[in-house]
Structure 1
Amino acid sequence: MGSPDLQDTAADHGRGVLESRLISLDPADFARDVWARTPLLTRRASDFSDLFSTAAVDDLIARRGLRTPFLRVAKNGTTLPDSAFTAPGGVGATVGDQLDDTALWRAFADGATLVLQALQRTWQPLTDFTARLGTELGHPVQANAYVTPPQNRGFDAHYDVHDVFVLQIAGTKRWVIHEPVHPDPLRDQPWTGHRAAVAEAARGEPAIDTLLEPGDVLYLPRGWLHAAEAQGEVSVHLTLGVHNWTRHALAEQLVSSALELLRDDPAMRTSLPLGVDAPDDELAFVRERLAAALAASDPAPRFHRARRSQGRPEPMGPLSQLAATEQLAADTPVRLRGALAARLEGRRLNTRAGWLDFSEPELPHVRRLLDGGEHTPDELGQELVVRLLRAGVVVPATG
């Protein structure tokens, strides 16, 4: 898809986090036999203490000043209103919806599950991990944490509209899994649209009934029904939600590209006849023109714009970036900013930090930068590196 002059940012050249942290299969076997097809349970996949912990839960709730929607609270399948666990931030913090740690403690002690959402935005180890995993998978990844008191569950049987990797962090949790009632649901096809079928299926014999212990990983494709209950102690698990790109999504990009082409077709801008009661007489003509536009369309630019919009680049501190710009020497190593989704299209570099156009003499240096390695102004040119630093496209390699 797309022309040969398009160049993607280099992926991780070493052993990826999918293989080293989440599964025991060869990635090629996972892609062929498991991905988007069937659950996979991997015992003792990794020690995840570097990614998350019970101490991280307390830190995020008590000291980070988080606001909704970075946290949800649920009990027995019901989500509590935000007003039940938020309060004004106090002097100097003129917001009314910061997390109230006292209210959260009382809800948790009463059996509620705490759901810390979008941790890739609030917890640095998961920012880095999800960015790497998303690059490897080619699909954006979100991280949530579920903190459940003993012998409780936050949600009844349901399915997700994205794939998940469940990483058990602390305690144990029993997972009961049933086959889909609506395979491969799209993002606008939640389980609530099949509530009766989900409830009926959940009463049947499960496909998997297992206990997850710290270090275990469970992969579930979207659509698989699941319910989980903490056992004799507090359970903390991470859910890495993989927001799958689908053929339907690609079709949407293709149709949008075709419709854009048809805007320039005078015959398609023509008004329908006066008094038209039904479009039947016009459909054959429109179908013919639309089919031709679909054949001529290239959805790649829209597809890549949409992919870029669903993620954020590696965090970058403005003070360290300014210092790097001002102190840049000929031998200072720099690298492409992580998770930038950089893509060279002709003379334009499109990234999550914006776009830049380059002259023909600059293009070989830009392509060299895209190989994922470290480079210096002596190699790339001082003026070019300063420009890329100011644009937030490159960062110090030692920073």
Structure 2
Amino acid sequence: MSTPPVALQDADVLAGVGVLEARLTGLGREEFARDVWARVPLLARGASDFSDLFSAAAVDELLSRRGLRTPFLRVAKDGATLPESSYTAPAGVGATVADQLDDTALWRALADGATLVLQALQRTWEPVAEFASRLGTELGHPVQANAYVTPPQNRGFDAHYDVHDVFVLQVAGAKRWVVHEPVHRDPLRDQPWTEHRAAVAEAAEGSAYIDTVLQPGDVLYLPRGWLHAAEAQGAVSIHLTLGVHNWTRHALAEQLAQSALALLRDDPQMRGSLPLGVDGPADELGIVRERLVAALTEADPAPLFHRARRGQARPAPLGPLAQLAAVDRLAPDTPVRLRAALEARLEGRRLTTRVGWLDLTGTELPSVVRLLDGEVHTADQLGLRLVDRLLRAGVLVPAGQ
């Protein structure tokens, strides 16, 4: 088999899974991309029932029975974040962990008007983790999930903006959202709202772009930079925030520059020392600029981009014991499939994934191309030796896992 002329990706990445339209916006991906994405807020009433993703019972389970530690939770009141020591405690006998969540302290904080923020639910609550992974696959940008639990007539944070896009999913209770236009459009990750604190405060006093109460099932999409503040109404409010960590042209420019600089390491003239007595860079800047422009023209940032993208999310969970059993019991009729959310790409004879890379032989390539369809295959269809190798690498998993 000849080397493929272009990179092949796994089916999940190419096809998407439709949660954007079915559960969040009612808009197809192309329509959302054309009219809404990174441009304007969008309010979708009654978009979906989110009780399968999260609930009050899930909050109690996470806070009292899962042994969570910081930073999986933060607590805010009156616009300020409370110190971790105020809501953590030692884990007790047999566990040398000093900062597990203290459910009694959290109950007292909530009763006193504090907002509880369960962070990184894509790592701690499976239904949310699966949903966030599916959305990230469809958008092509990594997604993080937080939950905000706010007692009635309280707000956790004053007006501010985020440096990532968000989908707000109202799960329980009601929350009033007041949204204002940006004072700093499309902020980068290192341009937080605190750099524009005075302008944010002034803008928050003006006419709102959106002033509405979200009820269970409603969804609000906010591009990064849009100001917002939210206050619970007559009952405890629980909402999920799906934070979309946008890839930007600036980030791509950074990777292009890194790739160009890597090329210049192989240029003997660029490795040379500046002449003695050089007073400032003016005498040498012309040469450097010329070589840098040439390197930028030649550089390919794609490998660095894909490596960084893979590193910003995690593959689907893998059970070590189930994986060990699959290797030990491998037989011709063993059903296997590509591990989900692996961001697998076949470039020439190299398979790159979120768990590493493998170089393949020419006889293995057709089977790996088949694997990228995401369907279930038996070991004899793919080759026992290849399946054993990919199971041990964590690329394949038993079909039932």
Interval of TM-score (by shorter of Structure 1 and Structure 2): over 0.9
The one of 274, 294, 297 equivalent to 1:295 is 297
Residue 5 of structure 1, CA deviation: 2.7
Indicate how the Cα distance of structure 1 residues 14 and 74 shifts in structure 2: closer, same or farther if over 3 A, else same. closer
Q: Distance in 2 between matches of 1:22 and 1:187?
A: 25
SS of structure 2 residue aligned to 1:119: coil
User: Which residue is equivalent to 2:176?
Assistant: 174
Which position in structure 2 is the counterpart of 1:11? 12
TM-superposed deviation, 1:189: 0.3
Q: Equivalent pairs: percent with the same residue?
A: 76
Deviations 1:85-111 (A, max 9, x none): 111111111011100111111111100
The Cα shift of 1:331 comes to 2.1
Rounded to whole Å, the distance in 2 between the matches of 1:377 and 1:222 is 46
2:138 to 133, 136, 139: 136
Written as runs of structure 1 = structure 2, the 5 A alignment for 1:297-376 is: 297-376=299-378
The SS at the match of 1:373 is coil
Residue 97 of structure 1 is matched in structure 2 by: 99
CA distance in 2, matches of 1:364, 1:287: 45
Q: Given the superposition, is the C-alpha separation of residues 96 and 370 from structure 1 closer, same or farther in structure 2, using an over 3 Å criterion?
A: same
Structure 2: 5+ residue stretches without partners: none
**8 Å CA contact retained: 2:12, 2:341:** no
Two-structure CA RMSD over aligned residues (Å): 1.1
SS in 2 for 1:118: coil
Report the more deviating stretch, 298-307 or 11-20: 11-20
Tell me by how many angstroms 1:26 deviates: 2.2
Pick the aligned partner of 1:118 from 112, 115, 120. 120
Distance in structure 1 (CA, Å) of the matches to 2:181 and 2:5: 41
Partners in 2 of 1:268 and 1:98 — Cα distance?
53
**Partner in structure 2 of residue 55 of structure 1:** 57
1:210-240 Cα offsets, whole Å, 9 max, x none, are: 0000000000000000000000000000000
Matched position secondary structure for 2:397: strand
TM-score normalized by the length of structure 2: 0.97
Q: Please report the TM-score for the alignment, with normalisation by the length of structure 1.
A: 0.98
Q: Secondary structure at 2:110's aligned position in 1?
A: helix
Tell me the distance in 2 between the aligned counterparts of 1:375 and 1:392. 16
| Equivalent residue in structure 2 for 1:267, among 262, 266, 269 | 269
Alpha-carbon distance, 1:328 to partner: 2.3
The equivalent position to 1:188 in structure 2, one of 190, 208, 229, is 190
2: CA distance, partners of 1:33 / 1:80: 39
Distance 1:51 1:240 in 2: 12
How far the C-alpha of 1:59 sits from its partner, in A, is: 0.2
Question: Partners in 2 of 1:158 and 1:25 — Cα distance?
Answer: 27
1:326, CA displacement in angstroms?
1.8
Instruction: Provide, for residues 48-83 of structure 1, a one-character-per-residue CA deviation record: whole Å limited to 9, x for no partner.
Output: 111000000000000000000000000011000111
- Partner deviation per Cα, 1:225-266 (whole Å, 9 max, x = no partner): 000000000000000000000000000110000000000000
CA distance in 2, matches of 1:19, 1:110: 39
2: CA distance, partners of 1:171 / 1:300: 45
Distance in 2, matches of 1:226 and 1:121, equals 26
With 25-34 and 148-157 compared, the bigger mean Cα shift is at 25-34
Structure 1: any 5+ residue segments left out of the alignment? none
**Between 348-357 and 3-12, the greater mean CA deviation after superposition:** 3-12
* Secondary structure of residue in 1 paired with 2:12: coil
Distance 1:387 1:27 in 2: 37
Partner SS, residue 301 of structure 1: helix
What are the Cα deviations for residues 263-293 of structure 1, in whole angstroms up to 9, with x where unaligned? 0000101111222221011111111100000
Q: Distance in 2 between matches of 1:42 and 1:61?
A: 30
Distance 1:47 1:396 in 2: 31
Q: Which residue of 2 aligns with 1:106?
A: 108
Q: In the alignment, residue 185 of structure 2 is paired with which amino acid?
A: P
Asked if the contact 2:183–2:225 (Cα under 8 Å) also holds between the matched residues in 1, the reply is yes
Partners of 1:300 and 1:116 lie apart in 2 by: 35
Q: Report deviation, 1:14.
A: 7.2
Tell me what 1:42 maps to: 44
Deviating above 3 A after TM superposition, structure 1's stretches of 4 or more consecutive aligned residues are 12-15
**Alpha carbons of structure 1 residues 14 and 225: separation in structure 2 relative to 1, 3 Å:** closer
Cα deviation for residue 329 of structure 1 reads: 2.4
In terms of mean alpha carbon deviation, does 349-358 or 146-155 score higher?
349-358
CA distance in structure 2 between the aligned counterparts of 1:4 and 1:294, rounded to whole angstroms:
23
Map 1:234-253 onto structure 2 (within 5 A): 234-253=236-255
Equivalent position to 1:218, from 205, 217, 220: 220
Residue 201 of structure 2 aligns to a residue whose secondary structure is helix
Question: What secondary structure does 1:307 align onto?
Answer: helix
CA contact (8 A) 2:5 2:348 kept: no
Secondary structure of residue in 1 paired with 2:377: coil
SS in 1 for 2:122: helix
